[in-house]
Structure 1
Amino acid sequence: MADKGSVFLLGPGFIGLEILGELLREGYQVTILVRREEARADLEKLGSKTILGSLDDGDTIREAAAAADIVIHTATADHKPSAVSILDGIGARAKTGKSSIYIHTSGCSLITDDSNGEYVSEKIYEDDKPETVDSVADDAPHRSIDLAILKRRDALGAKAKISIVLPPVIYGVGKEHRLSIQIPTMVRFALKHGYAGFAGKGKSVWGQIHVSDLARGYMTILHYMESTSGEKVLENPYFFIENGDEYSWKRCAEEIGKALQQGGKIQDPTPREISSDLYSDLFQEWSVAVIGQNARNRANRLRALGWKPQEKSTFESLLSEELPIILAEKGDFKGYGAAVAS
């Protein structure tokens, strides 16, 4: 298989491993930033190279970014130093006359509102209208990192082809039986408390995407950037990736309740609003922000490039794939405390 260029990938997790499989299948040379020594062997068996380090290792990231044709950051949407280090590496590479591609993962929390589940918003963000995304407040979730990237993007110009991807609710089973965050956390809450619940009033909606369709979306974006001039890429940095389905958080709780009742895990499938004193078993003080607001968007650009979703729907996947893994988990669930990318 012909060499298709070198890639530096940050974040070999739920999203990153899925993208890694696509990259290796197409013949890209991939180097991955790995936090733990014990994780290196398995990644190298797949055919990638590894560099030991964390997102705080600025020099390591700068050097790897400067050496790579392509950088893809899927580790987190909320670590500004790592994004800045990537941009520093791209800047150093540009000084030698070499261009770069950088795909950064943000998330649809960027476009959430303050509905608290009271209503379905009529506001729909479309990625072929970048001004709608640029209209969000500077202090919106993820926005400070995105703005730092956009500022450097303007300074670097056509030598740096930079895109920002904003995934919605991600679902499905990834490599190594990895699961996503939002809906699985709601399932674990229901198992612990005996009912399926939602934060806020439950009426707000988010779009959906299976992790495999998401990875293929990243590859479509990559191929577009490879075949398009830097000047053209500069016209619009944003890509949404959604499969056409939108569900309210109450609907998600309803489906979780039905699935758990069918499995004999709860008696009453009727969803309920979760009281704030139980948010510690969801997303702590961020519970309403994560599973209580609207985030409506359309992936017009990807569809125009020929990308189409292929995987099961959210609740088909939950019932047949994710739920068996969650039911096999051991230990007392105590909520989700890490950063939430989407």
Structure 2
Amino acid sequence: MSESRTPIFLTGATGYIGGFVLERLLTHPNAKTFDITVISRQEEKVKKLESFGVKAVVGSLDDYPLIEDLASKAHVVFDCADADNFEGVKAILRGLKKRHDTVGDVPIYIHTSGTGVLTDDAKGLVTSDLIYDDLNVEQLASIPDTAFHRNVDLAVVDADKQGYLKSYIILPSTIYGIAKTRLVEAGIQNPYSIQIPAIIKASLARKQAGVVGKGVPFWPDVSIEDIADLYIVLFDAIVTNPDKVGHGREGYYFGENGEHHWSQISRAIGEAFVQLGISTDPEPTPFTDEELIKYFGSLWAGNYSGTNSRCRANRSRAIGWKPKHTTQDMVASIKPEVEAAIKQQGGK
């Protein structure tokens, strides 16, 4: 391998976020200087990925020896897969430590978490005044160890503290928009997000828009294009001027460009239902506990869409990130999501 080329290992290449980040890397001005390795569980997708000029390996984040080995060969890791796969992340950390110990390199680890780490137990009934700032290190340090995603985030930050890598944690919020990339067209990348489609599918099953509680809590939002840009802006900033880019305890980067009440999402779903002839009333009604369990798998998972998670991406903006899409764009994106969900179900 030429010394002028940067070895990059990216997880989640077939996923919603990871596929978009891979697309951004493939079209990066310095793309010819990257040696990118990705993984996929499906051999068919591995072959398709290789046609895009990357090295692709059959495997998953649960193949810990493989993950450790691939990480040990990378100067940069974009971890865009499961934010809560603790053992998978530990395998990445072991691989990066091995690289540091044998090569003397200090690898760059860009990990994906989420603003779910900031959630409360509002059950859709209470609006919180607590807003987190990614420049406020002490405030972020006060997040309970028991918070969602937190055990993984703390392990990543601890690795930075030990000095064998530099860690950067990106925390997307409610990501919206149907991804349109070459990887989607090739049948490689999942084009859909999670939160909004889950509410849509539950609402379709009851033929009436649903909401958790009163839908008054706040969550931040960000488009898939803008969050993918954040990964690249951060990467470019690290490469260009690493001393100016916070890492470790100072390496949390929120992905948000506005915030919404959950009721706004449910109301937009209801309006789309009326326009599409699914229901006659656009006003969402509360999910019952039985419905939350039935449609989301558990009360905890169902009530997740009734939590508060409030933040401001000031550190992200300070490194040059300029998100373009707003909460209004998120609301406008919901009808196409409803239409996509209907199509996936084979009609109404």
TM-score, structure 2 length as denominator? Answer: 0.89
Shift of residue 4, structure 1, vs aligned partner? 5.7
Q: Which residue is 2:41 aligned to?
A: 35
Q: Report whether the alignment pairs 1:79 with 2:85.
A: yes
Unpaired runs of 5+ residues, structure 1, are 334-342
Shift of residue 286, structure 1, vs aligned partner? 2.5
Aligned length: 328
Shift of residue 264, structure 1, vs aligned partner? 1.4
Q: Which letter does structure 1 place at the counterpart of 2:50?
A: E
Shift of residue 33, structure 1, vs aligned partner? 1.6
1:152-171: CA deviation from partner (whole Å, max 9, x where unpaired): 2211x2x5111111111011
The aligned runs of 1:29-108 (5 Å cut-off) are 29-95=35-101, 96-108=103-115
Aligned CA distance change for structure 1 residues 332 and 82 (closer, same or farther; 3 Å)? farther
Q: Report whether the alignment pairs 1:133 with 2:140.
A: yes
Q: Report whether the alignment pairs 1:308 with 2:322.
A: yes
Matched residue of 1:31: which SS?
strand
Q: Which residue is 1:277 aligned to?
A: 290
Shift of residue 285, structure 1, vs aligned partner? 2.7
Q: Which residue is 1:337 aligned to?
A: none
Aligned CA distance change for structure 1 residues 49 and 268 (closer, same or farther; 3 Å)? same
Once residues 169 and 115 of structure 1 are traced to their aligned partners in structure 2, the CA distance between those partners, rounded to angstroms, is 17
Q: Report whether the alignment pairs 1:24 with 2:40.
A: no
% identical equivalent positions: 34
Shift of residue 181, structure 1, vs aligned partner? 0.9
Asked if the contact 1:208–1:242 (Cα under 8 Å) also holds between the matched residues in 2, the reply is yes
Asked if the contact 2:264–2:331 (Cα under 8 Å) also holds between the matched residues in 1, the reply is no
Shift of residue 112, structure 1, vs aligned partner? 0.3
Q: Which residue is 2:269 aligned to?
A: 256
1:76-133: CA deviation from partner (whole Å, max 9, x where unpaired): 1110111111111111111121121101111111100122222211100110112222
TM-score, structure 1 length as denominator? Answer: 0.90
Matched residue of 1:265: which SS?
coil
Asked if the contact 1:161–1:230 (Cα under 8 Å) also holds between the matched residues in 2, the reply is no
1:243-270: CA deviation from partner (whole Å, max 9, x where unpaired): 1x21111121111101111121211111
Among 148, 151, 154, the residue aligned to 1:144: 151
Q: Report whether the alignment pairs 1:298 with 2:312.
A: yes
Asked if the contact 1:166–1:239 (Cα under 8 Å) also holds between the matched residues in 2, the reply is yes
Q: Greater shift after overlay, 174-183 or 62-71?
A: 174-183
Q: Which letter does structure 1 place at the counterpart of 2:83?
A: A
Considering only aligned residues, what root-mean-square deviation do their CA atoms show, in Å?
A: 2.1
Q: Report whether the alignment pairs 1:318 with 2:320.
A: no
Aligned CA distance change for structure 1 residues 112 and 50 (closer, same or farther; 3 Å)? same
Aligned CA distance change for structure 1 residues 216 and 231 (closer, same or farther; 3 Å)? closer
Once residues 246 and 295 of structure 2 are traced to their aligned partners in structure 1, the CA distance between those partners, rounded to angstroms, is 46
Asked if the contact 2:265–2:334 (Cα under 8 Å) also holds between the matched residues in 1, the reply is no
Q: Which residue is 2:176 aligned to?
A: 171
Asked if the contact 2:157–2:249 (Cα under 8 Å) also holds between the matched residues in 1, the reply is no
1:177-201: CA deviation from partner (whole Å, max 9, x where unpaired): 6111111111112222111111233
Once residues 185 and 269 of structure 1 are traced to their aligned partners in structure 2, the CA distance between those partners, rounded to angstroms, is 18
Q: Which residue is 1:204 aligned to?
A: 217
Shift of residue 139, structure 1, vs aligned partner? 0.8
Q: Which letter does structure 1 place at the counterpart of 2:296?
A: L
Asked if the contact 1:199–1:287 (Cα under 8 Å) also holds between the matched residues in 2, the reply is no
Q: Which residue is 2:187 aligned to?
A: none
Q: Which letter does structure 1 place at the counterpart of 2:177?
A: G
The aligned runs of 1:116-127 (5 Å cut-off) are 116-127=123-134
Aligned CA distance change for structure 1 residues 92 and 230 (closer, same or farther; 3 Å)? farther
Asked if the contact 2:218–2:309 (Cα under 8 Å) also holds between the matched residues in 1, the reply is yes
Asked if the contact 2:38–2:56 (Cα under 8 Å) also holds between the matched residues in 1, the reply is yes
The structure 1 segments of at least 4 consecutive aligned residues displaced by more than 6 Å after TM superposition are none
Q: Which letter does structure 2 place at the counterpart of 1:205?
A: F
Shift of residue 298, structure 1, vs aligned partner? 0.7
Q: Which letter does structure 2 place at the counterpart of 1:330?
A: Q
Asked if the contact 1:116–1:288 (Cα under 8 Å) also holds between the matched residues in 2, the reply is no
Unpaired runs of 5+ residues, structure 2, are 185-189
